[in-house]
Structure 1
Amino acid sequence: MDGQGGIQPVFSRHFGHGSRQVLAIHCTLAQSGAWRGLAAQLEEEATFTAFDMLGHGRSPDWDGRGDPQDRITEIAESFLTDQMADQMDVIGHSFGATVALRLAVAHPERVRSLTLLEPVYFCFAMQDDPESVAAHDADAAAFTEQLDRGAYGEGARLFNEMWGGAGPSWDEMPEAARAGMIRSIRFVQVCRPPLYDDLAGILEPGQLDRVTMPTLLLRGTESHRVTKAINDAIAGRLPDAQNIVVEGAGHMLPITHPAEVAAHLRALFARAGD
């Protein structure tokens, strides 16, 4: 992490009132409120701390300094290390899951358990199943071409169409929701290098050996094939990982299938202990 310009302040909130402390990191184009449904399933057991990533929700835009994944990781790190609890259960979704994995590598003593919901860490699949990445990139070409030409509204619509799963269609969304996604879609472009080129060196020898805490990887049966390749690649490199598929779910499984995800989290929390 380069630390240029310091840590930008972000908006954060809490859900639930249980004794278990959970740090939750949302996906691209979402915001911290995306965890509301899952947190409600666990409100007696856990307290969720969630923040809006830079360029999302009520947080400011990324200031353009350094690498964006580094900057989001720095922010997440500040929540992990500033909590009164000695350890937190860390949960990440999509891009947020790549940040969660980096936290577990950097601070294994602070992470009681790790949950990765369809992490878009394409560099793992590039090593183990490059054809799945090629298939993803071909399917994503429609929105990446729009982003490259600055058509952010159309790019956001097509991105949501590919990754939004069973959620409301673009035309069904409130205008404010569409505007938020158009604002956030620029992150897809700037985050390609850390996700594809492993700028953080997460695949370097010894890095993943530090992730010894109980880990859960979840994906949906209806998600793009690259999610299976990534989850399988990560799970195969970790010493204590369960790799589970949620039937009927797509990429937005923490929102569309909160009860099923919560059930798997309870089992993980039991494995990890108090």
Structure 2
Amino acid sequence: MLHSSMSSKIQWFALMETLKKTHKVVAVDLYGYGEAPTVPAEKAGNFTMDDELALINKALAETLEKGTPFHLVGHSYGGAVAMHLALAMPERIQSLSLYEPMANHVVCEIDDALYEKQKELMGTVIEEIDRGNLKQGASMFVDFFSGEGLFFNLPEEVQEMLAACVRKMPLDYFASANKTLRMGRYGNLSAPTCLMAGKQSPDLSFAISQSLSGVIPGVDYHLVDAGHMAPITHGPLVNPIIEEHVRRHTSPN
């Protein structure tokens, strides 16, 4: 299980509790979040999703026997990383469950206006981070995906936690917006794929998911009555869809 930007593996706690009754569950903290290390200084200028894969592969090697097939679940940035991982090792992926994967490179291929909106958002967030205004940068990002004013209504300790990890978020964006990536690559996904999108999501994340639904072979596409952060805010709507997909594609022992 791979989490969104500005989050950690803890976001999957409820789903983990359900699936661990029948499956071995591995939730991974991506670079810069939760218990994971920060991005090495020498990598900061050329960080890619391959670097995330190296971290994930280390976690897999420590918890699964070599070559063991597994199901893959990802949300937002974690969804983009999940697709990248599924393409890198297709022989091991039993199923793929994605909630609004933020494959940011897709935007420039589908909508010029959204691409400009994306660049403006990230530009202003990065500007605040560079000025040392970590809370302001975090609030702009969180409010865009979760609703205006939400950040400063969160408990102070949650605001501090989000501000502490906001420096990694631009690296997530640049890794997933890499201009060498193309949407057509997802036509090579071979695992049974469940793709979910929120009816109340921002147009940016919704448009990416909608476009991917037309590219991923045989995709099982679901619209959920929630927003982009539904795996965290509306687990009872999202988790049963993932559970059913995982169980349907689990090979009998």
Scaled by the length of structure 2, the TM-score of the pair is 0.85
Opposite residue 229 of structure 2, the aligned amino acid is M
User: What is aligned with 1:51?
Assistant: 28
Q: 1:29 to 1:178 in 2, by over 3 A?
A: same
Query: Contact 2:19–2:25 at 8 Å: present in 1 too?
Result: no
Deviations 1:34-72 (A, max 9, x none): 111222343433332112222112222211233153221
SS at match of 2:25: strand
Opposite residue 239 of structure 1, the aligned amino acid is P
User: What is aligned with 1:163?
Assistant: 145
Opposite residue 58 of structure 2, the aligned amino acid is S
User: What is aligned with 2:165?
Assistant: 184
The CA deviation at 1:208 is: 3.1
1:263 to 233, 240, 249: 240
Query: Contact 2:143–2:149 at 8 Å: present in 1 too?
Result: no
Q: Is 2:64 the partner of 1:87?
A: no
Query: Contact 1:121–1:230 at 8 Å: present in 2 too?
Result: yes
User: What is aligned with 2:91?
Assistant: 109
The CA deviation at 1:271 is: 4.1
- Give the alignment of 1:227-242 within 5 angstroms: 227-242=205-220
Which residues of structure 1 form unaligned runs of 5+?
1-23
User: What is aligned with 1:70?
Assistant: 50
Between 260-269 and 222-231, the greater mean CA deviation after superposition: 260-269
Deviations 1:192-222 (A, max 9, x none): 33222344x3x286x4343111101112111
Opposite residue 115 of structure 1, the aligned amino acid is S
Q: Is 2:129 the partner of 1:147?
A: yes
Aligned-residue sequence identity (percent) comes to 24
Q: 1:221 to 1:167 in 2, by over 3 A?
A: farther
Q: Distance in 2 between matches of 1:58 and 1:79?
A: 12
Q: 1:265 to 1:167 in 2, by over 3 A?
A: farther
Q: Distance in 2 between matches of 1:273 and 1:37?
A: 20
Between 47-56 and 143-152, the greater mean CA deviation after superposition: 143-152
Q: Distance in 1 between matches of 2:149 and 2:11?
A: 12
1:195 to 162, 165, 176: 176
Higher strand share: 1
Higher helix share: 2
C-alpha root-mean-square deviation of aligned residues, in Å? 2.6
- Give the alignment of 1:109-128 within 5 angstroms: 109-128=91-110
Scaled by the length of structure 1, the TM-score of the pair is 0.79
Q: Distance in 2 between matches of 1:242 and 1:167?
A: 34
Query: Contact 2:143–2:150 at 8 Å: present in 1 too?
Result: no
Deviations 1:140-171 (A, max 9, x none): 56534322433112111222222235996434
Q: Distance in 2 between matches of 1:252 and 1:70?
A: 25
